[in-house]
Structure 1
Amino acid sequence: MKADVEVRLETLARQLGAVAERQGRLARYSMAGIGGPAELLVTAPDRETLVQAILGARALELPVWVFGGLTNCLICDAGLPGVVVLNHARGYRFEEHFRLHAETGALVAPLARAALQRGLGGLTWAVGLPGTVGGMVVNNAGAFGGETSRTLLSAELLSPAGEIVQVEPAWFEFTYRRSRLKGSQEGWMVLSAVFQLRPAEAAQLQAKADEYTARRLRAQPPGRTLGSTFKNPPGDYAGRLIEAAGLKGRRVGGVVISPQHANFFVNEGDGTAADYLALICLAQTEVERQFGVHLEPEIEFFGMECHCGG
């Protein structure tokens, strides 16, 4: 069986050529510098390669995983089986009626800045947001009172059957920091998204962007981190609860709960996914024990599961 998988992996690698790498290290692309190898790592520079890699893996009955910036993804130390596709399809264009069309590998922060420089509001809250448009849509990302679902107008998806379809925002079933695709095994892939922006004074947007950037710098720690570890529970803040539980600065291996903001876990050099998961379990367990509040992870787990807490 293993030999058969190897044959199929090599077949796809030959089909894709230079963009494919055997045993590619995912830690190189993780914001936290954590993650084992992919059996076959494909870096897709454009939409055509992205679709080709996904359909090729499906045709060969290989597991396929698609990532953008790996900003909120914890990948196990053993790595991932099958094919991992890094979506670097980053094209975008501004259209009439104040709309922005972006491929899902496009980086969010530069898009938000390009919009405000054109006097277009609606994404100013995202000027400091790490990651890509795909992750922003799937996770219904938001900050400073803004949220992806409020500006998304439509999206183009690759279906499990290999068809390209257009959907409206209601299709995603958005809730707080979540869509129907988060953690889904349905096989849908978001290829591009259209956002409805609004005209505004560029100077006012820039002032607001500067304010958001300053607030991020004050609140969020530097270093290698996956961003906010937990969602904020209703009426409270995950960071406050973790700090109140006495866990600021707590360490497991090479990963530490940031002394600056307790909802950020930082890899200080040699941290592993196992270290990160152990701290997540510690925070969940202690916050639930002390305050009766269950913290739900905002990050996603790949090749591993989180069963700690209540």
Structure 2
Amino acid sequence: MLTSKQICVQSVHDDVLQAHDVSLRVIRFDLAHPTVGGNKWYKLQRNLALAREQGATRLLSFGGAYSNHLYALAAAGAAAGFETVGVVRGELVQPLNSTLAFAHAHGMQLIPVSRATYRRRSDADYIAGLHHQYGPFYLIPEGGANVAGVRGCEDMATVLATLIPDLADCEIALACGTGTTLAGLLSGLRLLYKHQTNESRPFVRGVAVLKGADFLRHDIRHWLTCVNSPAKDEDWCLETDYHGGGYARVNQDLSDFVVRFARMHNIALEPVYTGKLMQALYQRIGSGLYPPGSRILALHTGGLRPLQSNP
């Protein structure tokens, strides 16, 4: 587990927040690692440990052509001495984009498959065929969405408790793609507060970045059950109306917001995850959905590309 020394807290101040008497702090999990920053580090750390315990030398996972997960897995796998295989949805267009070029440069074998084949990524027969074709490997699901990924994200709660003295009185807000990070965070918070008689604990708000994400509520409850940590529904919620048209869809309003936020607060956002999260928070604050005196912790879960990785 990383210590909190690489991660900092940045307070945000502007006219919108002042007018509504809302405190907003950004937790810079994106600084957790130079190339494997954000929640990807936490999802991968226990997966890599399990792979090593099982004697695996090769890791295989799935993602799209701009997958943060494959990018992070290639870097983390190379650093830990693993071979990596990335099954990529769609054809590999040459020259490779910066994400896939980075993964390839870090030794990842890229396997393009059709969208129809990609939809079989959870099918046992298809996985068996991949084992037959590419040899033994430790499988990490798309986005790091497994029990090990959830357990790894529990550590994010510990980091927050170290950084934020008033954590119990705050709302924690984060972007959600698979719900793995939110489930891990909820489980970690439950572990932190299980021995406390005071019922006060932070509320967690997830902001779904894909359209039609109501199914994520079931997935989050499933992961919580898998780690024997069912959270009460009053401890969290999932917002599904701030997707901006769908996953990786970026409209002009969102692009303008990301640029304006970076200029005002010196915090770079990417538009797929944290940009949508922050825009959703400002829309909610501006609509008066937070009572005066509210304290919000927005998790910056990474996704930004280091400049040196963009060929």
TM-score in terms of structure 2 length: 0.25
Greater strand share, structure number? 1
* Structure with larger RCO (C-alpha < 8 A, sep 6+): 2
Question: TM-score, length-normalised on structure 1?
Answer: 0.25
Tell me which protein shows more helix as a share of its residues.
2
